[in-house]
């Protein structure tokens, strides 16, 4: 009996050893030569569906970028939702309410900040920290970053402001061309010298007195040391003495006739027409407008320098961003695919395509070389690329920006355009209204 038990035990051990060896062979590493393919076996990526929203369609976003992403990421099945900008932004509100929005799309940066507060946008800060080297990008990469550290989006593109000047207008007035060392005080004094009158009529204005936020009232309050909101973006600063001083300088230039007024600009075809024709010698121009200038006024002789320095010696360059966001309600697989798309959008290849468009600045520094070497006007594109690196600033955007910005604009119009109120009256009224909005959104 003992011999029979011993024999059975030995047979059992042999079976176990054979099974273990077979199991080890079946679980050989994927790079094992026994798997063939020169020891290299690629595990297929999981098939994922990704919906990308494109407001403005391919007029705003390069189709080359989308096509290359699809080509290089065959495991991601891409569905495009596109529509004219206004139609898209109207539809997206309904989609969010019904939880049917795309996995990734872009809108104005301030809108993205609002989505973040409402829980619609995924916080991209951990994604960026894990996969990107922030030093490869300009500071504008974090345009959608909150004071608390969340990053609700990454830029589709950046649109900064520079000081554009018409060379023929300067020659006509025998005034030296502007430089990067100029201050706002230099701009004001030059505007006076550049203004040419014929009797009671003004033949040439020194500066185009814009009153909108980006190239109008915001840079004027910033250069004087003021701001619309405090650093926490929870307190209105529009009635601060320095903000008031900046707005008074803008109004004074219009009142005294060395800045254009709104009626003159309207009667003469708009700001670009006035600038291109030399009727306005200088202009705070957004980067994207170079495309319109070159298309519609190819013979205009003009260039740019950096925004003038402020009273504190620093430079403040207003920049507008549209930003991509990832839906926080997307599936984990779709979020991963969306981030793959955003990483591709931030790659050298895609950012060089963005740079070539001329309609917006990329955020990756490696793409700037092709911009500054471009021979299209303005030749001095460093006014924008170096300007934004030196002093790029958003428009005090927060989650309620779209609401309070309109309230400020209404009061600015009353003080600067219609001149029905003093600057002090307008800023006092704006401050009260803005603070009410900020408090309601805490």
Q: Kindly report, residue by residue over 332-373, the tens digit of the pLDDT.
A: 999 999 999 999 999 999 999 999 999 999 999 999 999 999
Contact of 246 with 220, CB cutoff 8 Å: yes
CB 244 within 8 A of CB 424: yes
Low-confidence ranges of the chain (pLDDT < 70): 1-44
Write out the DSSP string of 80-123: EEEE-HHHHHHHHHHHHHHT---SEEEEEHHHHHHHHHHT-BPP
CATH of 160-319+395-440, picked from 3.50.50.60, 2.60.120.260, 3.40.190.10, 3.90.950.20, is 3.40.190.10
Q: Which CATH class is domain 48-159+320-393?
A: alpha beta
48-159+320-393 and 160-319+395-440 have identical folds:
yes
What pTM does this model have? 0.88
Alpha-carbon gap, residue 376 to 399, rounded angstroms? 37
For residue 44, the model assigns a pLDDT of: 58
Task: Give the span between the Cα atoms of 404 and 398, in whole angstroms.
Answer: 10
Ordered by start, the domain boundaries in the chain are: 48-159+320-393, 160-319+395-440
Burial of 321 (0-12, 13-18, 19+ CB in 10 A): buried
């Amino acid at each position: 009996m003992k011999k029979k038990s011993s024999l059975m035990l030995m047979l059992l051990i042999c079976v176990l050893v054979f099974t273990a060896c077979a199991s080890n062979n079946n679980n050989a590493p994927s790079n094992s030569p026994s798997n063939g393919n020169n020891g290299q076996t690629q595990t297929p990526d999981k098939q994922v569906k990704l919906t990308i929203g494109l407001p403005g369609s391919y007029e705003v976003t390069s189709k080359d970028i989308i096509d290359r992403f699809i080509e290089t990421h065959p495991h991601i099945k891409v569905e495009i939702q596109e529509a004219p900008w206004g139609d898209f932004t109207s539809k997206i509100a309904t989609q969010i309410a019904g939880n049917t929005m795309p996995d990734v799309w872009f809108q104005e940066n301030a809108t993205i900040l609002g989505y973040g507060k409402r829980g619609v946008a995924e916080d991209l800060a951990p994604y960026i920290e894990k996969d990107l080297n922030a030093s490869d990008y300009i500071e504008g990469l974090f345009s959608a970053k909150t004071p608390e550290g969340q990053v609700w989006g990454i830029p589709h593109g950046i649109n900064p402001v520079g000081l554009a000047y018409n060379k023929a207008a300067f020659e006509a007035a025998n005034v030296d061309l502007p430089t990067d060392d100029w201050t706002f005080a230099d701009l004001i004094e030059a505007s006076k010298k550049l203004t040419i009158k014929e009797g009671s009529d003004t033949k040439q204005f020194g500066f185009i007195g814009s009153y909108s936020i980006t190239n109008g009232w915001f840079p004027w309050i910033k250069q004087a040391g003021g701001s619309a909101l405090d650093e926490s973006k929870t307190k209105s600063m529009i009635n601060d003495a320095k903000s008031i001083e900046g707005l008074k300088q803008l109004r004074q230039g219009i009142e005294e006739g060395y800045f254009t007024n709104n009626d003159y600009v309207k009667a003469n075809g708009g700001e670009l027409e006035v600038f291109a024709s030399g009727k306005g010698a200088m202009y705070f121009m957004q980067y994207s407008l170079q495309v319109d200038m070159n298309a519609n006024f190819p013979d205009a002789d003009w260039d740019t320098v950096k925004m003038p320095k402020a009273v504190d010696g620093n430079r403040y360059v207003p920049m507008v961003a549209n930003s991509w966001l990832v839906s926080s309600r997307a599936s984990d697989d779709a979020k991963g695919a969306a981030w793959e798309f955003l990483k591709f959008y931030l790659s050298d290849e895609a950012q060089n395509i963005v740079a070539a468009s001329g309609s917006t600045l990329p955020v990756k520094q490696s793409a700037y070389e092709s911009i500054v070497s471009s021979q299209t006007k303005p030749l001095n594109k460093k006014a924008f690329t170096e300007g934004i690196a030196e002093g790029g600033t958003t428009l005090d955007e927060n989650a309620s920006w779209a609401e309070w910005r309109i309230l400020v604009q209404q009061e600015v119009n009353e003080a600067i355009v219609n001149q029905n109120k003093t600057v002090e009256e307008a800023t006092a009224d704006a401050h009260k209204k803005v603070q009410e909005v900020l408090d309601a959104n805490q």
